[in-house]
Structure 1
Amino acid sequence: MAESPVIYLLGKLASFCENEIQHMREGREELIALRGEFERIKAFLRVADSMEEHNEEVKVWIKQIREVAYEAEDALDEFKLLLAHDHEGSGLLYKIPCCVRNMKARYRLTAAIRSISSRMKDICEGHQRLSKKLKRAQQGSSSTREDDPWQDHRADAVFVEKSGLVGIEEPKTRLTQWLVGGIPEREVISVSGMGGLGKTTLAKQVFDDPVVRKHFPVRAWVTLSPSSKTEELLMDMLQQIASRIMKPVPSGADTLDIDWLKMMIKRLLQGRRSRYLIVLDDVWHMDKWDAVKYALPNNNHGSRIMITTRNAELAQASCTEFVGKVYEMQPLPVEQSQKLFCRKTFKKNACPSHLEEICTDILKKCEGLPLAIVAISGVLATKDKRRIDEWDLVRRSLQSEIDGNDKLKNMKKVLSLSFNDLPYYLKSCLLQISVFPEAYAIERMRLTRHWVAEGFVEMKDAKTMEEVADDYLNELVNRSLIHVVERDSDGRIKSCRIHGLLRRIITSKSRDQNFAAIVDEQSSVWPDRIRRCSVHNELQIGQQNLSLSHLRSLYIFGVDKFSLYRILAGDLKLLSVLDLQNAPLRRFPVQIVDMRSVKFLSLRHTQIQTLPTSIGRLQNLETLDLKHTHVISLPIEIMKLQRLCHLLVYRYQTVSYTHYKYGFSTPAQIGALQSLQKLCYIDADDDRTNNVISELGKLNQLRRLCILKLKKEDGRKLCWSIAKLTNLQSLAVYSLGDDEEIDLQNLSSPPPLLQRIYLRGRMQALPHWIASMHSLAKLHLSWCLLKEDPLPSLQDLPNLVHLELLQVHDWQTLCFKAKGFQKLKILGLDYYEELTFVQIEEEAMSNLEKLMIQRCKQLKSMPSGIEHLTKLKVLEFFDMPEELTEKLKLEEKDGDYQKVARAAELRYGYWRDGAWDVTSVERSGKEQSSRPQDTTMKRSNLPPCWK
């Protein structure tokens, strides 16, 4: 993966030649020549990357290029760092040593560039033969190699016997029904999912099913891997179709161009009155689908096209374009995983008792991936079942087994294909995920800010770097390389993770390419000249010398305080990312202020209370994350951080329904931080409030703004400031107290992109502008006590998907009108002590998936019309009358239980003895109760005000 370092280096060289080269008296020509040399080899690197795993000579050449690129990047960054340091001070006594340092910096850079240029010439001159080979590969010769990694894994999936399969009957039945049933128009059936789930195996079983064979007289199976040529694909399809209809392929067809081949296929299929089924297996890119789709006509006889793909976006797009359905393959559940594992390992359906614990641990690492289960079973089947130590060794050293065991070679290749297909910038993003511990749920914003600070994200017109990074994340999700753990109610990814075995593969690639290293109990030796390092668990670092001068990113997970300070005391001058979330810190480490290159600094969930005034030295800082610390004010020197985009300084604490938020006192001149995009939470109750609220209007890049303790008299000024924030997407305003009124009626023109609003405090009336906000997706209103019912004003909002109302109006009866709230998916109602009746008219909230009702002491019956909510999945009642919850336990034919039987899960509970006692009833009727003393609950189980 030398392409990424070279491209990132070229970006820095371009910037350097534009901005800093004038500071060099010598070495300019060498620098420009070096830039040209890297430009020339860049064209070969993508092809070289594809050959690296199969050619040792290519591997060595790429390693040399990567090392030289890293060395050049270090030289440029060190020079820029010295220049930036020289410009910080003033006065003659300061300038004299600065001039000396400047001269030394120029000399060192010139010497480094000359050394690098000499090495580059040697590398390129010594590999002329290799360059010619790469050029031939670029022209297409590589696509016909016998060891083509795109093809050699397909045969096993296509020819596997049905008797060796587990968990295939249900998806096979569903796909068969989709194929032979449905409308007479042509449909596309897409099967999507990550590599190794068995998409091809499933499709082949369906393709060969007697019912399908009988239903579709014309059938063809075509594999569309990236290395396949379109002419070959179409010719293969033409030959199969002609064979089925007993017609010879026209002579000379193999010399026809693509358009003629499409026309011939279309004529054959259009002219037949019988149905056809075309399977397009292993479709990776839209251009391959686009190349064949118009050859497949709509003959109105119930013809079908079935696609298997790792690309979820392609699966959805093809079914939207041609009409159809998407089947998303899922990992095997635990029971079926165990069955497959035992069948392949022990040739029976049970595991020997003395190996159960070891096998369970190994099986967990497979995470339901059939390919991984079968591959690892093949390794274990050769082990002596009496030697527990042999089996335990596999469990403890699975990483080395994947790297070196030939029986796992095919699995590694299949899982690596998706990585190899990525563009260079997505390869860097995916490799970076290897720094997180196994099975770690990664918060989206934390991950994308890492990518931005690392320099992986490219600037695009009209988008922030974080928005481009979100696009990268979505692309990795669509390629089935990252799994979504949780989404926000408006569909945004909230957290994600990577499959454990894929993580092991990219961890190996990351280590081999000197991209990143993990230091833990298994690999406690500190790596040399590493670019990124992740330190895991209670690692004791002794007196060894730590090589840190090349380090760009440092991630800490569960390290003791002594080891942490040993690391921070190292030479970290080039560090861009310092993630110390959950680190054992009570004070701000003074070493951090000497890390002048740092862009991302997280001290989230630490015990620090203050920031030093020297924080102003970190003038490259873009993200300062102090969430869940005890910092309540910032020094005035924070105003020197002109590149700061994300300033997060707040914590919250919840006990029962009481939700305490703590923000920070901001400097009065906050408006000078023109790059700010996210600012939360500001305490607005001190003497500088008027200045601060007026200053907010200057932050025209702001996307998210959160304000605490707002006083009524400041509402008008806040409205004036908000009106200027045309990029604002999320707004949270909390009054000084629940009895304090907030006045936001003076906002004449709300920000057009505003999607999420959280308001807490008394109001005479709902702000008039809310009802006209077509972009609004989420609205939380708390303690408003409005005089008029707000539902008529809100029910026609076209994009509202999440609505939570806490003490908003003194309802006694509450009615959701027909055809109102058509996009709403989540509704929460809380603390209406006079509410006795809720009615849901037919066609109201037709897309509602989750309904939460809490602390409505007079509501003793189920909402009338709740059976109209046909898409309801989750129903929650907390601290509701026992008469209501008792009815949920009665499975009477016409009882309340039957009205909500379609909901996948019912939850009800009470706050008792300082903890939640919650009962969860699944669709099957099985009840699960949490112990009263157990206060550790999933966030989805918490009342809405907790979230």
Structure 2
Amino acid sequence: MAETAVFRLLANIAPFLQEKVNLLSGVRQEIEFIRDEFERMSAFLRVADAKEESDPQLKVWVKQVRDAAYDTEDVLDKFKLHLADHHGDGFGGFVRKIWSSIKTLKARRQIASEVQRIKSRVISISQGHQRYHDKYGTLEQGSRSTSVNNAWYDYRGDALLLEEAKLVGIEKPQRQLIGWLVEGGPGLKAVSVVGMGGLGKTTLVKKVYDDATVKKHFNSHAWLTVSESFRAQDLLKDMIQQLFKEIMQPVPVGVETMSIDKLKYLVNNFLQEKRYVVVFDDVWNVKDWEAIKHMLPDKNCGSRVILTTRFTDIASTCCEENDGDVYTLMPLSSEESWTLFCNKTFRGDLCPPNLKGISLRILKRCEGLPLAIVAISGVLATKDQSRIDEWEMLYRSLGAELEGNDKLESMKKALSLSYNDLPYYLKICFFYLSIFPEDQQILCKKVIRLWIVEGFVNAIEGKTIEEVANGYLNELFNRSLILGAERDPDGRPRDFHIHDLMCEIIVSKAREHNIVTTICRQGSRWPEKVRRLLIRSTSNNIEYSKRSSRLRSLFVWGPMDSFPIASLRELFRGGLKLLNVLDLEGTPLEIIPDEVFKLIHLRYLGLRDTKIKMVPKLIGRLENLETFDLRGTYVTKLPDEILRLQKLRNLLSFHFKSGGIYFEFEDFSGFKAPSQLRSLQSLQVLWLIEADQRSEGEVSIVKELGRLTQLRELGIGDLRREDGVTLCSSIEKLSNLRILYVISTKEDEILDLQSLSLIPQFLRELYLYGLLEKFPHWIPSLHGLVCLVLGRSKLRDDLLQSLQELPNLAKLTLDQAYEGEGLCFKAGRFQRLKDLLLCKLKGLRWVRMEKGAMPHLEALSIRNSELMEEVPSGIEHLTNLHTFELGDMSKKLISKLDREVPDGDYWKIAHIPQVRICHPVVTVAVTDRPPLSSQSQSQSQSQSLIVLLRRPLLPSFIASVHDTNKQISNLFVYALGWCGSVQESQLSPKVDKAVAFGTPKNN
């Protein structure tokens, strides 16, 4: 990770020397010498990055390089501060100019002195570099981290020990995998099992491999552990040993000395005309698969290959070639986790009442990861069950336990394998994520913007810096290091989270490498040189250190009502002149402190969800600002001085007055911007600007938008009918536009968008809120469109006729967009649609899906359409539908879903795994329902009704819900943590209390 610091330094030195800065004699040459030395060291740093974990001496050298790069950058930036003084005009300006000259001379002498010291350090570090260069010789540069100590793999066998704990939740994936292996066509087929480390991929596949049905079905069997540092020759020799041992014949003579080509030939020849199954466990690289796949013959004997991997791209690539299947292994459910926890901790006995609360809290940290549950349970099993304080202490200090407890070592090693393999530029990006709180969904776009302003992202010719950063994020997803939650319509993750225990590890690593320092309580120790500071304390007495003068990033995230504003001002007075990032999201800040506008190096200013009402004119001083986030504030107007921010790339400011489910015009507001927006030529994201009226002679904001040709995301509100032609003209000039929001000024205001002729070819998402006289003629031409949302359009013509040919449409929302009686989805249309929402279509009486329509639909929601009295006709044809939601619909429609009602509609939805019936107070959901088929008909009779409490409910209401659904076998009631408790004694006797109170569902 030191290379990232060096890369950033070299990027800063180049313009510093090019600008002919007035330096004392000889200083320029010494800075050039320092630059050259860092350039020479940077290539070797890539190799050192992979070696440092296993070499303490090398680790010290890398730290020295990193610190020297940081210190050099600080010296240069401090000097830039002295050059940035604004003198003004008149006599006062003349005096200030003289005084500034004196200060600048002092600064030049100071930089000369500090450069001399840094040069001496760099010479010493370079000598250390020479020693290590001699030690490691000509290691291949830029290779992946194959140097990870092999001791890391001594713990892989521990995954198989999960069987000893009677691993739960394995039956369903086991049946699925066995089915894929023994069924299907005669051709060679690959099956991939993918998931993050510790999920039990190896354990699952081992159970499948050892299953009697599988053993009997195949003639030859081989289990091969690939791992990160495998050698193809060793793998092939191992495979030959297994194959010949199985038939009780000696291994051919000379195998130990055979070339790799002869070994492949021997394997291939042995497997000819045999039905074989081969497991490749823990595949780390597509090239590894490429190196071994050609030795496997395909003689139409029904042979199978199984792979386990942490990488989604490897899983998909291997299976695409052989028309195979990918099984994404998921964490255990709450119930399964609790069973496994009790089996291991209490040897299968019930949890003692005094330990139930703390046990559930500890279990939550495991997030369904079997290896984590088993490891932590093993520690708890040795503790005195009467000493709840010991259990509480382990919960509080789990991060420290991961570092020092031998019983947790195997779990830590398993989780660490994925990030140890990361290239240098991704490691710092991953460890940087430690700034985000546990249990928080992290917005992908925010992470990308922060990585960019922190200088972590390397420019690549032909790509924007955002596209490169997005590639970094995708690689972390691919490696299962971060877990996607909500996704955009085109499948791209919108946000993600990090497993709780992985968070503990990266927090430790971030602290070790001085990436992020966290202050979470009074008395927290500061490292010698703080670069990035995260404050999560609610104490008014945090002692801020003078070391903060080197601070580059400051994050203050705390409870809205308890953050100490006085402490923030004290920190500013301590000197934050080198700050690049300032994020005060969620604090009760009402006024931006004047000290903020002295931070000329600031590139990111985050004020989201603060109480800021006004942005002062001083904002114009922040000329290096790239992201200005005002979402959720009360700012309604920006000053003209915002136009000085020539480097601004992201400007976000909008406010929701309420958190309602449905869009309401009166609840949504953007901001008024100054004229001459064309000055902001770097803008890529602009949310949400208001198309307000201008005085005579002023340039229209709507017209100015056409000058911002770099825009990729645009939200514009308060649009009037007369603005339509001008907006269309501007949109035609925005060739890079990907996302477009257009909102009319009020509910009955017409959006006139008919004059648009030249359509942005990259547009992926379109949101139109406002009255439409007729459907825009250009929308069917948006072949790249993946998401379309129409709100309050109130169209009378058949919408679907115009939309059905969109080749990539994945999400469609019609919210008060159609006033007709029926919608018919034609056969063969909407081939890629996955998510369909029909909301507040007051005139809608029927929906019909012809067979072959929407074959990939996964989620269907119909809300507030009271005239509908039966479920959509043809819904039984939607075989991929996994969620069906009805909200505030007619009682007649709901009653027809009762299985026991004669001539009801239940049979139409019996195949859908999850059905939700939403009311203003509760959501009733029928879940985990097997497909309706001949082999599962009996299983489908045992279904579950889940009531998710959205507000405190009267126990009598709960009972009545149960009594009105007697055909359902069980009622599981889960009281969500934020909605108030329900006592066990208050529930209906028919409620399964063991489930209701034993293992609460996550929100």
Q: Given the two structures, how large is their TM-score scaled by the length of structure 1?
A: 0.92
Instruction: State whether residues 788 and 812 of structure 2, in contact with CA within 8 Å, keep that contact through their aligned partners in structure 1.
Output: yes
C-alpha distance in 1 between matches for 2:202 and 2:951: 48
2:372 and 2:922 map into 1 onto residues whose CA distance is: 40
Written as runs of structure 1 = structure 2, the 5 A alignment for 1:224-373 is: 224-244=226-246, 253-269=255-271, 272-373=272-373
Q: 1:389 to 1:710 in 2, by over 3 A?
A: closer
CA distances 1:261-290 after superposition (whole Å, capped 9, x unpaired): 434433332xx2211222211111122122
Aligned residue in 2 for 1:945: none
The secondary structure found in structure 2 opposite 1:456 is coil
Whether the aligned pair in 2 keeps the contact of 1:485 and 1:496 (CA below 8 Å) is yes
- Map 1:529-544 to 2 at 5 A: 529-544=529-544
User: Does the residue aligned with 1:373 lie in a helix, a strand or coil?
Assistant: helix
1:691 to 693, 700, 718: 700
Distance in 1, matches of 2:49 and 2:786, equals 44
Distance 1:354 1:929, change over 3 A: closer
Match of 1:118 in 2: 120
Do residues 793 (structure 1) and 802 (structure 2) align? yes
Task: Give the aligned partner of residue 210 of structure 2.
Answer: 208
Q: Deviations over 1:723-781 (max 9, x none)?
A: 00000011111222222222111111110011111112233321111111111111122
CA distance in 1, matches of 2:166, 2:796: 67
Deviation of the 1:22 alpha carbon: 7.5
Counterpart CA distance in 1 for 2:149 and 2:342 is 32
Task: Describe the shift of the 1:312–1:145 C-alpha distance in structure 2 as closer, same or farther (beyond 3 A).
Answer: closer
Match of 1:464 in 2: 464
Say whether 1:767 aligns with 2:773.
no
Structure 2 residue identity aligned to 1:775:
G
What residue is the counterpart of 2:945 in the other structure?
926
What residue in structure 2 maps to residue 154 of structure 1?
Answer: 156
Q: Per-residue displacement from partner, 1:228-272 (whole Å, max 9, x unpaired)?
A: 233333343344445446666555555554444434433332xx2
Match in the other structure for 1:743? 752
Tell me the amino acid that sits aligned with residue 31 of structure 2: L
Question: Which residue of 580, 583, 586 maps to 1:579?
Answer: 583
Give secondary structure in 2 for the equivalent of 1:295.
Answer: coil
* 1:601-750 → structure 2 map (5 Å cutoff): 601-654=605-658, 655=660, 657=662, 659=664, 660-687=667-694, 691-750=700-759
- Show the 5 A alignment for 1:157-168: 157-158=159-160, 164-168=166-170
The one-letter code of the counterpart of 1:346 is F
Secondary structure of 2:235's counterpart equals helix
Question: Once the 2 structures are TM-superposed, how far is the Cα of residue 26 of structure 1 from its aligned partner?
Answer: 2.3
Contact 1:195 1:418 in 2 (8 A): yes
Q: How does 1:808-819 map to 2 (within 5 A)?
A: 808-819=817-828
Q: Could you tell me which amino acid in structure 2 is paired with residue 210 of structure 1?
A: A
Per-residue CA deviation, residues 556-577 of structure 1 (Å, 9 max, x unaligned), is 1213333333333331112111
Matches within 5 A, 1:830-909: 830-892=839-901, 894-909=903-918
Give the corresponding residue for 2:76. Answer: 76
Matched-pair contact (CA < 8 Å) for 1:216–1:276? yes
CA distance in 2, matches of 1:268, 1:893: 61
Q: Tell me how far apart the structure 2 counterparts of residues 348 and 818 of structure 1 sit (CA, whole Å).
A: 54
Q: Secondary structure at the match of 2:154?
A: coil
User: 2 CA distance for matches of 1:938 and 1:880?
Assistant: 28
Which letter maps to 2:765?
A: R
Which amino acid letter does the alignment assign opposite residue 442 of structure 1?
I
Residue 590 of structure 1: aligned partner: 594
Aligned to 1:755: 764
Q: Which residue of 2 aligns with 1:446?
A: 446
Q: Deviations over 1:484-521 (max 9, x none)?
A: 12112332212111011111111111111111111113
Deviation at 1:455, TM superposition (A): 1.0
TM-superposed deviation, 1:385: 3.1
The yes-or-no answer on 1:430 pairing with 2:449 is no
Asked if 1 retains the 8 angstrom alpha-carbon contact of 2:898 and 2:904, the reply is no
CA separation of 1:344 and 1:937: change in aligned 2, threshold 3 A: closer
> Which consecutive residues of structure 2, in runs of 5 or more, have no partner in the other structure?
930-942, 955-974, 979-1003
Q: Distance in 2 between matches of 1:389 and 1:224?
A: 43
Give the drift of 1:311: 0.8
Structure 2 residue 833 is matched with structure 1 residue 824: yes
Q: Classify 1:320/1:523 alpha carbon distance in 2 versus 1 (closer, same or farther; 3 Å).
A: farther
Q: Separation in 2 of the partners of 1:145 and 1:731?
A: 47
**CA separation of 1:216/1:543 partners in 2, compared to 1, >3 Å: closer, same or farther?**
closer
Answer yes or no: is the 8 Å Cα contact 2:637–2:672 preserved in 1: yes
Q: Deviations over 1:796-837 (max 9, x none)?
A: 111111112233343123322222222222222233333323
Query: For 1:467-546, what aligned pairs fall within 5 Å after superposition?
Result: 467-521=467-521, 524-546=524-546
The alignment status of 1:569 with 2:573, answered yes or no, reads: yes
Secondary structure of 1:724's counterpart equals coil
Letter in 1 for 2:945: K
State the SS of the aligned residue for 2:151: coil
Instruction: Report if aligned partners of 1:196, 1:371 keep a CA contact under 8 Å in 2.
Output: yes
Instruction: Give the 3-state SS of the residue equivalent to 1:524 in structure 2.
Output: coil
Displacement after TM superposition at 1:910 (Å): 4.8
CA-to-partner distance for each residue in 1:901-939, whole Å, 9 max, x for gaps? 22333334455xxxx554444353414154566899999
Deviation at 1:592, TM superposition (A): 1.0
Name the residue aligned to 1:35: 35
| 2:523–2:542 Cα contact (<8 Å) kept | no
Of 171-180 and 789-798, deviating more is 171-180
Cα offset, 1:364, TM superposition? 1.6
Residue 270 of structure 2 aligns with an amino acid whose one-letter code is L
Structure 2 CA distance, aligned partners of 1:584 and 1:523? 24
| Higher mean C-alpha displacement, 237-246 vs 2-11 | 237-246
Please give the alpha-carbon distance, in whole angstroms, between the structure 2 residues aligned to 1:595 and 1:869.
57
Report if aligned partners of 1:365, 1:500 keep a CA contact under 8 Å in 2: yes
TM-score, normalised to structure 2, is 0.87
> Which structure 1 residue ranges, 5 or more long, are not aligned?
940-947
| 8 Å CA contact 2:692, 2:701 repeated in 1 | no
CA contact (8 A) 1:623 1:647 kept: yes
Q: 1:212 to 1:614 in 2, by over 3 A?
A: same
Which one-letter code corresponds to 1:182 in the other structure? G
* 2:777 counterpart letter in structure 1: H
Secondary structure at the counterpart of residue 582 of structure 2? strand
Alpha carbons 2:797, 2:820 under 8 Å: kept: no
Deviates more, 1:11-20 or 1:424-433: 11-20
Could you say what the CA RMSD is over the residues aligned between the two structures, in angstroms? 3.0
Please name the residue that 2:998 is paired with.
none
CA 1:327–1:665 in 2, change beyond 3 Å: closer, same or farther? same
Displacement of 1:792:
0.9
Q: Which amino acid aligns with 1:742?
A: L
Range 446-455 or range 777-786, more displaced = 777-786
**Matched residue SS, 1:540:** coil
Give the equivalent residue in structure 1 for 2:547: 547
State whether residues 522 and 542 of structure 2, in contact with CA within 8 Å, keep that contact through their aligned partners in structure 1. no
Do the aligned residues in 2 keep the contact of 1:852 with 1:877 (CA within 8 Å)?
Answer: yes
Question: What SS does the corresponding residue of 1:632 show, helix, strand or coil?
Answer: coil
Tell me, yes or no, if the aligned pair for 1:86 and 1:102 is still in contact at 8 Å. no
**1:779–1:88: structure 2 CA closer, same or farther, 3 Å change rule?**
farther
Contact in 1 for aligned 2:165/2:340 (Cα 8 Å): no
Instruction: Specify the code of the residue in structure 2 equivalent to 1:213.
Output: K
Query: Secondary structure at the residue paired with 1:152?
Result: helix
